[in-house]
Structure 1
Amino acid sequence: MERALAVIRNDSEQTQSLIREAGELAAGVDADLSLLHVLPEEEYEEIMSSRLETKGKSFPLDEAEMEAEHFATQVGHRALENVDIEYEVLGTVGREEHAILDVAEELECDHLFISGRRRSPSGKALFGDLTQRILLNFDGRVTVQLHEEE
């Protein structure tokens, strides 16, 4: 591992654990580590609509990306406070799969860390599965931490 990307999908204990593991592994092999939070396109559009209705203000894309980066910074700080590693934090807006893969390619990452939910085969078929699509489309190693579907 030379360059790792850890995806922050939420602020759960599972995500904290995944980020900590990514940090410890990257520190152990002296690899670069980047943390990424993607604000899903649908969520961005919902926030934009809500702000227009309630405040009469829009939600500029650059502001949304700054909020996504801020979220990643907060989660990363808590998860990595006891890990001796420097890392970069990124935030973006878009379709999660494409954004994750684009950032990983742009940074030339060779390892990706992502959390996922345990789902039944029919659940995967009906709703799709981001983690599965990342596994199939990322050209490198992927560490997946699974947790129970809620």
Structure 2
Amino acid sequence: MERALVVLDQDEQGRRLLEEAAELASGVDAKLHVLTLLTPEEFGEKRDALDAVERGEQTSYDDSVVLDRARQDAEEIIGETVGDLDLDYEVVPGRVGEAENESDRILETAGERNVDHVFVAGRKRSPTGKAVFGDRAQSIVLNFDGPVTSLLE
């Protein structure tokens, strides 16, 4: 492994996956690319919070500030979770899109960064949910040309 991509979900499972990916990357001196994904709803919630700040400060921010805040959140999680490791990492600019297209955004980022390993958390879904929305981890396993590590709860 020379370059790996970890999809950082902002929950306990996401932190555990980040910890595992970071320890492995650090152990083999690989670069770790950290990706955060936002649904349009999550992006809208963050944009709404920013709108409130804009009104209070009587200023204006563009949407890039929302993605920058997502990057800062990822940096904080990395610091809290694996700050003591000697780790070469980069936080990839956040990606916004529908939840059912997450695997496409992950695979696209993996290709852009030329990674050779992907770490992605699985999600519990009912059989109907998997049929309608697909399974993110399964899609990555089937479509990524390299090792995939998935943490399932």
**Post-superposition offset of 1:52:** 5.8
Find the counterpart in structure 1 of residue 152 from structure 2.
146
Q: Which residue in 2 is equivalent to 1:2?
A: 2
How far apart are 1:39 and its partner, in Å?
A: 1.9
Name the structure 1 match of 2:19: 20
Query: In 1, Cα distance between the equivalents of 2:133 and 2:112?
Result: 28
Distance 2:63 2:51 in 1: 14
Structure 2 gaps of 5+ residues are none
Tell me the equivalent position of 2:62. Answer: 60
The alignment partner of 2:88 has SS state of coil
1:101 aligns with one of 99, 107, 112:
107
Structure with the bigger percentage of strand: 1
What CA RMSD, in Å, does the superposition of the two structures yield over aligned residues? Answer: 2.5
Q: What percentage of aligned pairs have identical amino acids? A: 41
Corresponding residue to 2:82 among 80, 83, 102: 80
Is the Cα–Cα contact under 8 Å of residues 112 and 143 in structure 1 kept in the other structure? Answer: yes
- Which stretch of the first structure deviates more once superposed, 124-133 or 110-119? 124-133
Q: Which amino acid aligns with 2:79?
A: H
Number of equivalenced pairs: 146
* Aligned mates of 1:99, 1:126 — CA distance in 2: 18
The equivalent of 1:90 in structure 2 is 92
Q: Distance in 2 between matches of 1:54 and 1:64?
A: 12
- Are 1:118 and 2:124 counterparts? yes
Which SS does the other structure have where 1:117 is aligned? coil
Equivalences for residues 123-138 of structure 1 within 5 A:
123-138=129-144
Question: How much does 1:119 deviate?
Answer: 3.0
Give the AA of the match of 1:43: E
- Answer whether contact 1:112 1:141 (CA < 8 A) is retained: yes
Give the conservation status (yes or no) of the 8 Å contact 2:75–2:91: yes
How far has the Cα of 1:60 moved from its partner? 2.7
Aligned to 1:144, the other structure's residue is in SS state strand
What's the offset of the Cα at 1:111? 0.5
TM-score under structure 2 length normalisation: 0.80
